[in-house]
Amino acid sequence: MKKRKLGSAGPEVPMICLGGNVFGWTVPEAEAFRLLDQAVDAGLNFVDTSDVYSSWAAGNKGGESESILGKWFASSGKRKDVILATKVGLEMGEGKKGLKPAYIHQAVEDSLQRLQTDYIDLYQAHKDDPETPLEETLAAFDALVKQGKVRFIGASNYSGARLAEAWETSRKHGLASYISLQPHYNLMERSAFETELLPVVEKYQIGVIPYYSLAGGFLSGKYRSQKDTENIARGATVQKYLNERGFGVVAALDEVAHAHGSTPARVALAWLLARPGVTAPIASATNELQLADLAAATTLKLDAESIQKLNAASA
């Protein structure tokens, strides 16, 4: 399958999407500004966030990541240099959630204000809303596209069946269609995407921007024991991978990284970039070294033997 670019023609180039979930959580505003400047300078010009980021952090209520990005756009003047993706639909408090038209129209205005921009490149449904007819949700998104507030729309956390239904609904009613899917997909989480979602994205030529591309940091190789996960923000996320299969995957990453003079994180991202359908894996960075891994992953080409080694270890 030829990988689909997100909304533009031209030659296909490997892309990594910078995850904005850490802004306002593990990365404070001043540090986020510095990392964003460095990311754009390194060619990492695709940034993904959400209205709900980072509501889970103590003292936050949601919107922190978008607000930091908005302040950076205003101070740096780099809005035009960035492909900006954000999302709508998760609980924002006071009944603010879901994909009903009235809420989508309210939520996009709130996001635009926080982001200090007049348009969003990729506006995504953060998860399916089975209580709202797809036609109503897609009509609301279509109106935003026609108004110029949104360039393209995407879906996140949809089942294969609902994604296909959404696409057929758009086709039937002449509405804007989802050009991208944001699924949970990495070397540790393969089954759901490869069995249920891949056939749908191939059929409809939908771009794929997987989240948790490094499995919460586990695939970077920095968590090799229970002790390594203590007193860190994502400790609970990676503990489930501390088993025979997980250690086998990390060992394979170490081997391939050594053979290529690279790092486990770069190899894990390069593996994703080589997968059918994948357009741009999402990964966050909290320091310059991690940012360097993201940038370098776009130029790392894995040979067939390396890919097979990783496939076997993660099967």
Annotated catalytic sites, by residue? 53
The alpha-carbon radius of gyration of the chain (Å, integer) is: 19
Which residues are bridge partners to 208 per DSSP? Answer: 181, 278
Q: Dmax of the chain from CA atoms?
A: 54
Which residue do the tokens 């593990």 mark? 26
Where residue 277 falls (left for φ over 0; alpha for ψ -120 to 50; beta otherwise) is left
CB-based contact 7:121 (threshold 8 Å): yes
CA distance 195 to 185: 12
